[in-house]
Structure 1
Amino acid sequence: MATFVDLFCGAGFGARGAVRGGGVPLLGLDAWSLATQTYKANFPQADVLTEKIEIVSASELGTKYRPDVLLTSPECTSHSIARGAKPALEKSRETAIGIVPWAKAMKPRWVIVENVNRMRKWDRHDELVQSIEALGYSVSDLFLNSADFGSAQARKRMFLVCDKDGTKVTREDLLGLVKPQRKTAESVINWNANYPVAPLRKPGRAKATLERAERAIKKLGRGVPFLIVYYGSDYAGGWQALDVPLRTVTTVDRFGLVTWQGRTAYMRMLQPDELLAAMGGSTDHVLPHGNRREKVKLCGNGVCSDVMTPIFLWISQKQAKRTEFH
């Protein structure tokens, strides 16, 4: 069993995937109290600490925790295209460099860094990799899409998987450990729930929303449910069908589900339980705290569980071989 400390732990979606792959959480750290409350609710055996990483003493905690894995998901806001036209904040980006003292202090065999893929374009990305390598790690720099690993969401992320024993891993290695089945957006929708809906063409509905819906209806025909997608920049027309994976869950409402009663179209936003399913949550992971908006944010800030599971399965294999060898 690979023990791990979880920096920028969020609601624990990455940790959930780690646990499914044989991991044991020792500590979850996050600056948002709602995140650490949610983490504790899901992993009551783990310690939690609500604080900014730059304020906490890594060396002091390093005397208490000696994990096999340091699991990190640094703040990604200033790397992501989701920030729109807002200027990138270098202080936000530097939380990634801030994980290096933790690796020095805790001396884990493995370090995992998850972030948006655009982090590779950051001018200090190579510095981060070289800093980790300078501590004696071999770094596998991977680009992974959660949909390839059995998630109902297409969430493309960079993963640095760092091993002090010099072993590297590939995307194909990880896929071979789980042999996933492809899931679609339709699979996360709670069709039995009685969530309130409103007519698509109600008074006051934004013109842009109706235009997105019209493009979908023109393509799919009447009577076929679909999703309106807000805050997109991929030129896909502002909608998606349900027979493909859900596009990336963000920290704000993004998906409007359009359904039909006869020839009348109705719409509602996807709910936290549906976004939870898209993040890889199920009956073994809950969001017991926070209002609806906060739960949406918890999901959007998370690491998709389905990708972390094969990474920890791979780690567990390496642990077993090392034990057998010794």
Structure 2
Amino acid sequence: MVTFVDLFCGGGLGARGAVNAGATPLLGVDAWDRATETYKANFPDAHVICDRIENIEPLNLAKEYSPDVLLTSPECTSHSIARGAKPAREESRETAIGIIPWLEAMNPRWLIVENVNRMKRWDRHNELVESIEEYGYTVSDLYLNAADFGASQARKRMFLVCDREGTYVTKKDLLNKFGKKELPASSVIDTSGKYKSKPLYHPRRAKATLDRAERGIEALGKGEDFIIVYYGSDYAGGWQRLDAPLRTITTIDRFGLVTWDRDTPMLRMLQPSELIRAMSGGEDHLLPHGSRREKVKLCGNGVCSPVMEALFRHISSEMEQGCCISEAS
């Protein structure tokens, strides 16, 4: 069975994909207490530490934990396009370099680094890759979309998949083996009536919101449900169809659902229970702790589970083949 240590573990959405592939989490580390509480609720057998990785001596933990995979998702706020024009915080980006002492101490066969694709523009990105290679790893630099692996979300991320025994991983190979049909945004919508909508048109509704909704209504016609998309680049007019994967979930409320009560358009925000389905691809993952805002943030900070499941299935397959070759020889 493949084991892993999970740095910047968040609420465990990446770990959920690994566990779905048959792997076992040994240790999760994150600086946010709400994230570590959520991780522990989902993986009670894992040891969980709430602290920054630079405050921890990995050599001490290496005496107890010897993972097959070191799974890492360094802080991405200073790489993300969603941050707008805010100045970059170098200490945020430096968290990626901070994984190197853990790599050296734990000496896993595999290392996975997940981040937004703009991380490649960071002037120390090549330094990070070269540092990993100096420890004997072959680095596969991939750009993967969660929708290609059966998620109901178009979430595009960079993955460095690094193997100390020389395996090079390609996107084509992953898609051939583990690719799945994308799911539409409609697949995450709760239609039970539990969450109440309000009329789209009322005096306190922002004009920008009405403009987004009216563009959707004009394109689809009355009576067709759709999603308003707040924030980020507005390349689609601020709305999207329900028959396409949800656009990227962020750490703040971004999606409003427009439905119809006869001829009256109604609006409500998507709820954490719906967002978690778009992140985890199922009903298994728990969000038992925190406010609504914190639960949205946990989803937006997470790694989409179906992609991580595909990566860990690939790793498991490679390790099983290696065992078979060793036994045969």
Could you give the per-residue CA deviations for residues 154-206 of structure 1, whole angstroms, max 9, x where no partner exists?
00000000000001111121122324122000100011132121110111100
Counterparts of 1:143 and 1:17, CA distance in 2:
18
Q: Which amino acid in structure 2 is aligned with residue 185 of structure 1?
A: A
Could you give the per-residue CA deviations for residues 26-71 of structure 1, whole angstroms, max 9, x where no partner exists?
0000001111111011111100000011111112112221100000
The corresponding residue for 2:258 is 258
Is 2:318 the partner of 1:318? Answer: yes
Q: Which amino acid in structure 2 is aligned with residue 35 of structure 1?
A: A
Is 2:117 the partner of 1:117? Answer: yes
The corresponding residue for 1:87 is 87
3-state SS in 1 of match to 2:243: coil
Deviation, 1:119, is: 0.4
Q: How many residues align?
A: 326
Contact preservation (8 Å) 1:36, 1:49: yes
Could you give the per-residue CA deviations for residues 57-102 of structure 1, whole angstroms, max 9, x where no partner exists?
1121122211000000000000001111111001000100100110
Counterparts in 2 of 1:281 and 1:295: CA distance versus 1, 3 Å: farther
Counterparts of 2:152 and 2:179, CA distance in 1:
15
Q: Which amino acid in structure 1 is aligned with residue 224 of structure 2?
A: V
Contact preservation (8 Å) 2:28, 2:36: yes
Is 2:292 the partner of 1:292? Answer: yes
Is 2:303 the partner of 1:303? Answer: yes
Contact preservation (8 Å) 2:79, 2:118: yes
3-state SS in 2 of match to 1:279: helix
Counterparts of 1:155 and 1:196, CA distance in 2:
28
The corresponding residue for 2:21 is 21
Contact preservation (8 Å) 1:70, 1:111: yes
3-state SS in 2 of match to 1:10: coil
The corresponding residue for 1:105 is 105
Deviation, 1:112, is: 0.1
Contact preservation (8 Å) 1:9, 1:73: yes
Structure 1 residue runs without a partner (length 5+): none
Q: Which amino acid in structure 2 is aligned with residue 193 of structure 1?
A: G
Contact preservation (8 Å) 1:232, 1:238: no
Counterparts of 1:172 and 1:47, CA distance in 2:
35
**Which segment is superposed worse, 259-268 or 171-180?**
171-180
The corresponding residue for 2:207 is 207
**Which segment is superposed worse, 208-217 or 188-197?**
188-197
Contact preservation (8 Å) 1:13, 1:281: no
Counterparts of 1:325 and 1:128, CA distance in 2:
32
**Which segment is superposed worse, 239-248 or 167-176?**
167-176
Deviation, 1:234, is: 4.2
Counterparts of 2:151 and 2:234, CA distance in 1:
20
TM-score, normalising length: structure 2: 0.98
Contact preservation (8 Å) 1:29, 1:48: yes
The corresponding residue for 2:198 is 198
Contact preservation (8 Å) 1:215, 1:237: yes
Equivalent residues in 2 for 1:134-283, closer than 5 Å: 134-283=134-283
Q: Which amino acid in structure 2 is aligned with residue 322 of structure 1?
A: G
3-state SS in 1 of match to 2:136: coil
Taking every aligned residue pair, what percent have the same amino acid on both sides?
A: 65
Counterparts of 1:237 and 1:103, CA distance in 2:
44
3-state SS in 2 of match to 1:45: coil
Counterparts of 1:194 and 1:150, CA distance in 2:
26
Q: Which amino acid in structure 1 is aligned with residue 169 of structure 2?
A: V
Deviation, 1:281, is: 4.6
3-state SS in 1 of match to 2:55: coil
3-state SS in 2 of match to 1:268: strand
The corresponding residue for 1:55 is 55
Contact preservation (8 Å) 1:30, 1:49: yes
Deviation, 1:325, is: 1.3
Q: Which amino acid in structure 1 is aligned with residue 181 of structure 2?
A: Q
**Which segment is superposed worse, 47-56 or 173-182?**
173-182
Counterparts of 2:235 and 2:282, CA distance in 1:
31
3-state SS in 2 of match to 1:15: helix
Structure 2 residue runs without a partner (length 5+): none
**Which segment is superposed worse, 178-187 or 19-28?**
178-187
Deviation, 1:209, is: 0.4
